[in-house]
């Protein structure tokens, strides 16, 4: 594990060498530890595949680098807790994406085979990012790894299920995007109108880091 300063008020910790289930368990242990015992002046934690950003309030922590080594020791001690065995959430997908034909042609694969491979794993949410609630799902079958489009689309519809390199994910809002679209889901992964008035704001986000999901083919 190591760390690097990211401007005067933030530290970026690297807790793993590569994306893996182990890295995710480690990420969750560190986040849980930070939630239980937040260091003074910590205002934001952003977990990602192998890196975690900690942002501090400069009025309380003028020099975060002075606290870095101690935090590093603490994160190393947090170890690799087991992921909570949350229920697997199912995501219905119609495999009719704009890039489906090109992928099938490029891989010499039938649509049945692609669906089988894409629906087989239980995926883990490694992080949310890019746009509100966009889940980066790891554990994609290597036979489905596909480089991003050379030139991104100006508009990808919300609900598009896509493959970007070694990951699969779901566009949560209409936005530009460079991933290969293989299908669409009617599920609203991000919905700013979901949840009770004055209820927790987290209700807008259907998936959270550490969640487990499975794709189910529908026609």
Partner 1 sequence: MGPKVFEILEPGLGTTLQDRGRPGWRRFGVPPGGAMDDHAAHWANRLLDNSPDAPVVEFLLQGAKLRVLAETWIAVTGADAEASVPTWRAVRSYEDDVLQFPANRSGVWVYLAVESGFESPRWLGSASVYTRGRLGQPCASGSVLCRAASARFELPRGVAGRVVDWHERRNYESPPPLRVWRAPQWDLFSETDRELFFAQEWAISSQSDRVGYRLAGRPLKPAAAQILSEPVLVGSIQIPPDGQPIVTMRDGPTVGGYPKLGLVEAADVSWLSQCRPGVKVRFQLLP
CA 61 to chain centre: 29
**Per CB under 8 A, 182 contacts partner 1:** no
In the complex with partner 1, which residue's Cβ is closer, 18 or 219? 18
Residue selected from 39, 130, 149, 157 as contacting partner 1 according to rule CB under 8 A? 130
**Per CB under 8 A, 15 contacts partner 1:** no
**Per CB under 8 A, 177 contacts partner 1:** no
Answer left, alpha or beta for residue 187, where phi above 0 means left and psi between -120 and 50 means alpha: beta
Closest distance of CB 217 from partner 1, Å: 26
**Per CB under 8 A, 199 contacts partner 1:** no
29-88: which residues touch partner 1 (CB under 8 A)? 43-53, 55
Closest distance of CB 210 from partner 1, Å: 12
Burial of 28 (0-12, 13-18, 19+ CB in 10 A): buried
**Per CB under 8 A, 213 contacts partner 1:** no
Residue selected from 123, 205, 206, 215 as contacting partner 1 according to rule CB under 8 A? 205
Show the CA angle centred on residue 198, arms to residues 197 and 201, nearest 5°. Answer: 95
The span of 63-71, 78-86, 100-108, 130-138 binding partner 1 (CB under 8 A) equals 130-138
Q: How many CB atoms lie within 10 A of CB 190?
A: 20
Q: How far apart are CA 56 and CA 76, in angstroms?
A: 20
Q: How far apart are CA 51 and CA 79, in angstroms?
A: 15
């Amino acid at each position: 594990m190591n760390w690097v300063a990211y401007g005067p008020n933030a530290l970026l910790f690297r807790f793993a060498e590569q994306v893996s289930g182990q890295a995710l368990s480690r990420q969750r242990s560190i986040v849980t530890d930070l939630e239980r015992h937040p260091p003074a002046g910590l205002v934001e934690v952003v977990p990602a595949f192998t890196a975690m950003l900690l942002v501090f309030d400069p009025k309380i922590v003028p020099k975060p680098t002075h606290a870095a080594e101690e935090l590093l020791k603490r994160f190393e001690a947090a170890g690799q807790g087991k992921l909570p065995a949350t229920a697997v959430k199912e995501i219905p997908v119609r495999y009719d994406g704009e890039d489906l034909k090109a992928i099938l042609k490029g891989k010499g694969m039938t649509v049945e085979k692609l669906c089988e491979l894409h629906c087989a794993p239980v995926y883990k949410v490694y992080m949310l990012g890019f746009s509100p609630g966009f889940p980066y799902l790891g554990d994609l079958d290597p036979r489905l790894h596909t480089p991003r489009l050379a030139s991104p689309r100006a508009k990808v519809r919300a609900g598009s299920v896509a493959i970007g390199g070694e990951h699969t994910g779901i566009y949560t809002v209409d936005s530009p995007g460079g991933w290969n679209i293989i299908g669409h889901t009617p599920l609203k992964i991000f919905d700013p109108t979901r949840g009770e008035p004055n209820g927790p704001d987290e209700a807008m986000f259907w998936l959270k880091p550490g969640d487990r999901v499975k794709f189910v083919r529908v026609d």
